[in-house]
Structure 1
Amino acid sequence: MSEQDRVRWDECYLNQAPPDVSAVRRPQVFAPFEAEFPAEGRALDIACGLGAASVWLARRGLDVWGVDISRKAIDHARELANRVGVGKRCRFVVVDLDDGLPVGPPVDVVLCNRFRDSRLYAPIIDRLAPGGLLAISVLSSVGVKPGRFQAAPGELTTAFAQLEVIAAGEGDGEAWLMARKPNHEL
C-alpha cells in the first residue's frame, strides 16, 4: 500500500474506540459454519483491523497472528486481546500486504474478511497446512455497480479451485468462500 493508504487507515481507526468485548465474534457471513473452525492450532488473520475476529479465534483455542497496515488498528487489537484474556495467544503486527504475506509457518486457519488482493491468493493456499481452513470474504461486483476493489463474478471459486469447497456465495456486493486444503499434495 502507499504511504497515503497507510495514513488513511490510521486516520480511520484513530477516531474509533477500541472494540468492546461484545464485538468479539466471527465475521457474520461465516456464522452458519462456525463449527468448521478448529479449536486448536495456528491461525493467520489477514487485514485483521481492530482484531475482533482474531480474538474470537484465540478464544476458541487457536494461536493467532493478526496482520494489518494500520498501526492504530493493531494497537486496538492488542488492547482487546489483553482485555479478553487471550493476549498470550495473539500476535499482532503491522504489515504492508503489498509486499506479500509475511513469512511464517503453515497455519490451520486463514481468515481474510473484507480484504482483497488477488496477488495473495496463491500464497494463501501455500500457507494453509494440509486440512487447513480458508474463510475469505471480499467486496464483489455481483449485485452492485462494479468498483475498483471488488471481485469479479466467480473470482473466489476460481482462485481457490484447488481447495475443497465447504460453502460459497455471491450477491449484494459480497463474495465469500469457506474451503479446506486437501490432506494430500495439490
Structure 2
Amino acid sequence: MAEADRERWDAKHRALGAGTPLPPDALRGRLDLVPSTGRALDVACGRGGVAVWLAARGLDVVAVDVSPAGLAAGAALADDHDVRVRWVEADLDGGFPDEDGTYDLVVCQRFRDPALYPALAAAVAPGGLLVISVRSEVGDEGGRFRAAPGELAAAFGDLEVLAHHEGDGEAYLLARG
C-alpha cells in the first residue's frame, strides 16, 4: 500500500474517533453461528469494533490493519470495554500476515483483495467459520474495489457455504472450514 493510502486511512480513522463494538454485518440475525470460545482473526479491522465485540463474547482475538490510527482507536475501545485484543499492524497489499495456526472464526469485512482469498480460507480451522463481506458490482456500478458476480462463492467453494448474498452493491459469504 502506498504511504498516501496509509495516511488517508489514518486521517479517516482519526476523524471518526472511537468505534462501537458491533458484530460483523453478515452475522446480524445469525449470531448463533459465532463461537463463544476459541481464536478469532479480524482482517482489515479498522477501528476495531468487530474485534472488541468478539473479545467481549469470550474469543481470543487477533486484529490486523494497516492503519496505526485505526489500531490505536481499537486498543482504546478494547480498554474501555475491559477486553484484550492483540493488535497487528500489517499492510495486506504485501500479503497475509504470518500469524500462527488457524482460527475458529475469521472475519474480513469491507476489504477486498482476491489474492488473499486462499490465505483467508486456509486460516479457518476445521469446523471454523469464515465471515467475509465486500462491496459488489451486483446492484451497483462496477469498479476495481467491487467484487464481480459470483466472486465469493467461486473463491470459497471448497468450504461449506452456509449463506451467500449479492445485491444492492454488497456481497457476503458465511462458510465452515
TM bucket by the smaller chain?
A: over 0.9
Structure 2 residue 27 is the aligned partner of structure 1 residue 2: no
Please give the residue correspondences for 1:10-159 in structure 2 after superposition, counting only pairs within 5 Å: 10-19=10-19, 23-87=20-84, 90-104=85-99, 105-159=101-155
CA distance in structure 2 between the partners assigned to 1:124 and 1:136 by the alignment: 9
Partner deviation per Cα, 1:18-72 (whole Å, 9 max, x = no partner): 12xxx21102332111110101111110000111100111111111000111100
Q: Indicate the percent of aligned positions where both proteins have the same amino acid.
A: 48
Which residue identity is paired with 1:2? A
Would the aligned equivalents of 2:26 and 2:132 in 1 still touch at CA under 8 Å? no
Partner deviation per Cα, 1:65-99 (whole Å, 9 max, x = no partner): 00111100000000001110102xx1111110011
Which residue identity is paired with 2:37? E
SS at match of 2:62: strand
CA distance in structure 2 between the partners assigned to 1:38 and 1:103 by the alignment: 23
Which residue identity is paired with 2:130? L
Unpaired stretches in structure 1, ≥5 consecutive residues = 182-186
Shift of residue 146, structure 1, vs aligned partner: 0.5
TM-score, normalised via structure 2 length: 0.97
TM-score, normalised via structure 1 length: 0.92
- RMSD value over aligned CA atoms? 0.9
Runs of 4+ in 1 over 3 A off after TM superposition: none
